[in-house]
Amino acid sequence: DIQMTQSPSSLSASVGDRVTITCRASQSISNYLNWYQQKPGKAPNLLIYAASSLQSGVPSRFSGSGSETDFTLTISSLQPEDFATYYCQQSYSTPYTFGQGTKLEIK
Amino acid sequence: QVQLVQSGGEVKKPGASVKVSCKASGYTFTRHGITWVRQAPGQGLEWMGWITTYNGYTNYPQKLQGRVTMTTDTSTSTTYMELRSLRSDDTAVYYCARVFSGSFGQFDFWGQGTPVTVSS
C-alpha cells in the first residue's frame, strides 16, 4: 500500500497568513493527488485534484503543486472559514490512501 | 444539483451487520462510480472501496475483504454498503462519495455521513 505522510500534523496561523501543507507519498504517484478540507461534523470537501487543478467553486487562494512523491497545498491568504483539517489522498492505485490530516487552527 | 443522501444512524451489537444506503440525484447515475470512506471518532479518513455503477464492479481493500459488500440499484440511483461481523473498532461515521469519471478518480461530491455505533 502507498503511505501518505502529511506535515505538519497541526498548524497555528492568523487570518491573512500564507500557509503551506506538505504531503509525501511512499512511492511515485505521478500527479494522482487530491486535497480535501473537512470541518468539524461535516463531510470532506474536494479542493484540489490531479495535484494542481482547482475544483469548481473553490476559492482561488487555494493552490496545489508537486508531482511524483512530494506535494504541497498552499493557502495564499487565510480567511476565517479556512480553519479546518486538510487531507491529501492518492488515487494512483488501490487501496486509495489518505494522509493523517493537518489541523489548521487560529493563532 | 448533485446530491448524495445517506440513510440514518445505526446502533449495532458486535457480530451483527449494518447496511447503509446512499441515494444519488442531480446527475446521470451510471456515469460515475461511488466510493465509501469511514472516519472513526477523532481519527482520519479510511477508504473502504468503490463500485462502478454501470456494471457493479467492486474494488475493496484487503483489510475489509470478506466483510464488506457494495451493491447498486440503478432503478433508484442508490448504492448500498454492507459491513458484516461488526466489531467495536467499526464504530465510525460512514460517508459515500461520487468518484468523478475522469482520469484522476477524485471524490467530488459527498453524502452527509451515517454514524454507526457498535456496542454491546
pLDDT digits (tens, 9 = 90+) for A47-102: 999 999 999 999 999 999 999 999 999 999 999 999 999 999 999 999 999 999 99
Write out pLDDT tens, residues B5-63. Answer: 999 999 999 999 999 999 999 999 999 999 999 999 999 999 999 999 999 999 999 99
Which residues 34-73 of A have a C-beta within 8 angstroms of B? 34, 36, 38, 43-46, 49-50, 55
CB-count burial class (<10 Å; 0-12, 13-18, 19+) for A56? exposed
CB contact (8 A) between residue A55 and residue B106: yes
Which residues are A13's β-sheet partners? A106
Cβ contact B107:B101 at 8 Å: no
Q: Is the dihedral of CA B8, A100, B42, A102 positive or negative?
A: negative
How close does chain A come to B95, measured CA to CA in Å? 7
Cβ <8 Å between A87 and B112: no
Predicted confidence at residue B102, as pLDDT, reads: 80
- DSSP lists the bridge partners of residue B92 as B116
Nearest alpha-carbon partner for B35 in A89, A87, A67, A3: A89
For an interface test with A, give the residue of B5, B39, B45 to mutate (most A CBs within 10 A): B45
Considering only the beta carbons, identify the residue of A55, A97, A101 that sits closest to B108.
Answer: A55
pLDDT at B103: 78
CA distances from B54 to A4, A56, B22, B58, B75 (A): 31, 25, 16, 11, 11
Mutate to test the interface with B, among A36, A45, A53, A91 (most CBs of B within 10 A): A91
- Return d(Cα A55, Cα A59) in angstroms, integer: 9
Helix (H, G, I), strand (E, B) or coil at A81: helix
Contact of B36 with chain A, judged by CB distance below 8 Å, is answered with: no
Residue environment code for B26-57, b if the CB has 16+ CB neighbours within 10 A, otherwise e? eeebeebbbbbbbbeeeeebbbbbbbbbeeee
A83 with A105: CB under 8 angstroms?
yes
pLDDT value of position B61: 98
**Over 90: is that where the pLDDT of B88 sits?**
yes
- The answer on pLDDT for A25 being more than 90 is yes
Q: pLDDT class for B65, splitting at 50, 70, 90? A: very high
Helices and strands of chain B, counted as H and E runs: 0, 11
Residue of A nearest to B38 (CA): A43
Residue A20 CB coordination number (10 Å): 14
CA distance B11 to chain A (A): 18
Query: What's the grid cell of residue A50?
Result: 490531479
User: Among residues A88, A87, A84, which one has the least CA distance to residue A103?
Assistant: A84
Any A CB within 8 A of B3 CB:
no
